[in-house]
Amino acid sequence: MMPDHDVRIVREDGFTSVGGIRIHYEAWGAGDPVVLVHGLGASAAAWRRVAPILAEAGYRVLALDLKGCGLSARPPGDYSRKNLANLVCGFMDNLGVRRARAVVGHSMGGAIALEIATSRPERTDLVAVIDGQGIVNQPWILQAAAPVTSLVGTLASGVTALSPVAPRRFFARMYLKRIFCDADAVTDELVETYVATADAGYQRAMFAMIQHLGNTADLAEAVRTMKAPALLIWGTRDPICPLSLGEELYAALPDAELHKLDACGHCPPEA
């Protein structure tokens, strides 16, 4: 629930180097740390409505741009879930966070948050997943497409490098209207946050991440014995990661709550 008054918390912007990779982050407030991990194609900007509210509640809120996203560097290499979880933990180390009050992940970020909670239980008290990608069962198409995503990413990055910004804005708006329940929430400002950093390197990184989305069999097994409690938040009208994925994950977790958001699509943090 959004507060019924304006939340005035100053956003801080910074950069840090994790394993030689320049990572951009945004921070709000003071108190116990809460780490926010965005989803595929997004950035720390996805949390700008939610983060100040958490900060007002007394938390130090930290949202990073994963490598390849936002204002972070776009190096070639490993973009798997485990590698991105290592990156988030390195980011936490750099900012002096040994243990977070919560690691919160949206969409693909949900799998990264669960990876941290299962493989490094000492790093967080709680894990929250918002409209997360499939963990327990993955669509066969993701596994089938994995061998060609690198090639597709190379082609897409070439097209992006040569194309003007206007078509990118058009396709970004069209996609966002599909995944948001309320098309009126897709403002010019929101579209611009996605388009502004969607360069060729971003496209290559996106497809490098997509290549690994279907590899969740080990995580599906690990969550069944996860020690940290989990909070699952799901839009009932999510066309990308439907509620059934949340219900499957809820059934697999030993200690979890599932909260359903009526008339909400894939992006509750931005809606």
pLDDT band at 153 (very low <50, low <70, confident <90, very high): very low
* Mean pLDDT confidence for 17-34: 98
Distance CA 84, CA 63 (A): 14
Cβ(65)–Cβ(40) under 8 Å?
A: no
DSSP H helical segments within 30-107, as ranges? Answer: 51-56, 81-94
* Of residues 33, 30, 28, 23, the one with CA closest to residue 12: 28
Quick: pLDDT tens for 211-267.
Answer: 899 899 999 999 999 999 999 999 999 999 999 999 999 999 999 999 999 999 999
| In contact, 271 and 182? CB cutoff 8 Å | yes
How many angstroms separate the CA atoms of 216 and 117, rounded?
Answer: 15
pLDDT for 244-255, tens place per residue?
Answer: 999 999 999 999
- CB count in 10 Å sphere of residue 99: 14
Q: Which of 212, 223, 227, 211 is nearest to 249 (CA)?
A: 223
Asked if 121 and 135 touch (Cβ cutoff 8 Å), the reply is no
* Residue 131 φ then ψ, to 5°: 45, 55
The residues near 247 (Cβ < 8 Å, ≥ 6 apart) are 258
| pLDDT tens figures, 49-83 | 999 999 999 999 999 999 999 999 999 999 999 99
Strand order in the sheet with 102-106: 12-18, 21-28, 59-64, 32-37, 102-106, 127-130, 230-235, 256-261
Cα torsion for 79, 252, 133, 88, to the nearest 10°? -40
Identify whether the C-beta of residue 73 lies closer than 8 Å to the C-beta of residue 202. Answer: no
The residue among 156 and 31 whose pLDDT is bigger is 31
Among 83, 96, 111, smallest CA distance to 21 is for 83
For residue 223, count other CB atoms closer than 10 A to its CB.
Answer: 24
Three-class SS of residue 128? strand
Can you read off the two tokens belonging to residue 19? 């394993």
Taking the C-alpha atoms of residue 203 and residue 37, their distance in angstroms, rounded to an integer, is 19
Higher pLDDT, 153 or 176: 176
Is pLDDT of 200 > 70? Answer: yes
Query: How many other CB atoms sit within 10 Å of the CB of residue 131?
Result: 29
Task: Give me the pLDDT at residue 168, please.
Answer: 79
Report whether pLDDT(2) > 60.
no
| Section 169-198 average pLDDT | 90
Comparing CA positions, the residue from 107, 157, 143 lying closest to residue 270 is: 107
